[in-house]
Amino acid sequence: MQINLIYWSGTGNTEAMANLIKEGAESAGATVNLKNVSDASIDDVNCDVLVLGCPSMGDEVLEESEFEPFMISIEGSLSGKKLALFGSYGWGDGQWMRDWDERMKNAGAVLAVESLIVNDAPSGESEQECKDFGREIAQ
């Protein structure tokens, strides 16, 4: 199984999640291509599962200068695509993720697993949740 995992991280928390998710997916036998969104293109939608990660920014929105433009560029290519979403947050209650889930469903994507959010940096139990998330995606 080919998984393309694309993320944006400002403080390193979402990047840490991405690395743990990659570890979990690879432990389940998947091949994972990990990319920062600045290195990603619409061609990265071509995979078995597309995994996207972005933290909550501002008033619980996706990062606006790099990640949101990437989302706009791929949104029309997501119909029927198996997709998983994750991200970290420091405040709020996860509204950005609920909005993102809904947006992806409206674009026709099929959410492979329940989206994962972690408060601040993953540690302890949340580290394991990230690895489990990766393993679940790879099945």
pLDDT in tens, 31-48: 999 999 999 999 999 999
Distance CA 3, CA 49 (A): 5
Domains in the chain: how many in total? 1
Report pTM.
Answer: 0.97
Whether the predicted pLDDT of 59 surpasses 90: no
Whether the predicted pLDDT of 92 surpasses 90: no
DSSP 56: -
What's 90's domain CATH number? 3.40.50.360
- Reported as half-sphere exposure (CB side, CA atoms, 13 A), residue 125 has a value of 3
Helix (H) or strand (E) holding 35: strand 31-36
Q: Which residues form the domain of 115?
A: 2-138
- The amino acid at 75: E
